[in-house]
Amino acid sequence: MSKKIENLDELIRRFVDDAEAETMAREIRRGDAMLDTFDSPEMCPEAADRIRRRLRQYRLRRHRRRQAIGWAGLAAAGAAAMVLLFVGLGQRPQKPVESLPLVQEVQPPPVEQPEMRPVDLHELPGVTLNLWEDVPYVEDQDFTAIKTELDDIATWIKRLGIMDNTLPDKPVINGETASQEDFKIDLTEFWKG
């Protein structure tokens, strides 16, 4: 077996002294020569054929696998394109949506204000300036009669002295004082006027 030519002595001298380099180089050459005396193991022709066959099968499988991957990739790309197409058709073109602020102040919708002008209060419906105008009319005569009657009662009570606690009690008849007895009589005859 031929070797590539290299200057072995010079190479070895880079690492060891001259004498040792010479010895090393000589021993390496002897070793190489010894290896050359032996025949190299040779592969039988059948083995070479088997290797060729195996290599072809491997390359064929590899080719098919790559082809299958290619088809699968193509199919996947087609499916993805279809999906994109459907999604694209299903969506109307929209305006770009502006991003909203995180905190948005809620404001009522603007209300159109009526034109402001001075209004006469009498023009407004249901507005009454004088509350007493709604009170039903009371005849002065009736009021006078009631007032007179009440005054009479007050005078009568005053004359009887019922409410005067300073008067001494009359002798008790059947458990009642004389004053209480008189008041009782007056009440029973009150209707007579």
Partner 1 sequence: MAEQQPSTFIERLCSRDDSAFDELVDRYAGRCYGYFYRLCGNGEQSEEFVSELFVKLVEKIDTFDGGSFDNWLFTVASNLFRDHLRRKYRYKRLLDEVADQERKRQEEAVVDPRQEAVSDRLQWALEKLDKETAELIMLRYYSKVSFRELAQMRNEPIGTLLSKVHRGLKRLRVLMEDVSYE
> Which CB sits closer to partner 1, 29 or 158?
29
Smallest gap, in angstroms, from Cβ of residue 15 to partner 1?
4
Closest contact distance (angstroms) between CB of 16 and partner 1 is: 9
Pick between residue 8 and residue 162 the one whose CB is nearest to partner 1.
8
Angle at which helices 178-188 and 140-160 cross, to 10°: 150
Task: For the CB of residue 73, give the shortest distance to partner 1 in the complex, in Å.
Answer: 19
Please state the closest distance from residue 23 (CB atom) to partner 1, in A: 9
For 48-100, give the DSSP string. HHHHHHHHHHHHHHHHHHHHHHHHHHHHHHHHHHHHHHHHHHHS---PPPPPP
Rounded to whole angstroms, how far apart are CA atoms 119 and 124? 8
Least distance in angstroms from the C-beta of 68 to partner 1:
17
Closer residue to partner 1 in complex, CB, 1/102: 1
Bridge-partner residues for 176, per DSSP?
173
Nearer to partner 1, 8 or 157 (CB): 8
**What number of other Cβ atoms are within 10 A of residue 44's Cβ?**
8
Q: Which is nearer to partner 1, 27 or 151 (CB)?
A: 27
Contacts of 40 (CB under 8 A, 6+ apart): 1
Residue 96 burial class via C-beta count within 10 angstroms: exposed 0-12, middle 13-18, buried 19 and up: exposed
Binding site for partner 1 (CB under 8 A): 1-4, 6, 8, 11-12, 14-15, 24, 27-28, 30-32, 34-35, 38-44, 47-48, 50-52, 54-56, 58-59, 62
Residue closer to partner 1, measured from CB, 15 or 137: 15
Shortest reach from residue 69's CB to partner 1, in Å: 15
Q: Are 152 and 160 in contact (CB under 8 A)?
A: no
Residue 8, burial from CB neighbour count under 10 angstroms (0-12, 13-18, 19+): middle
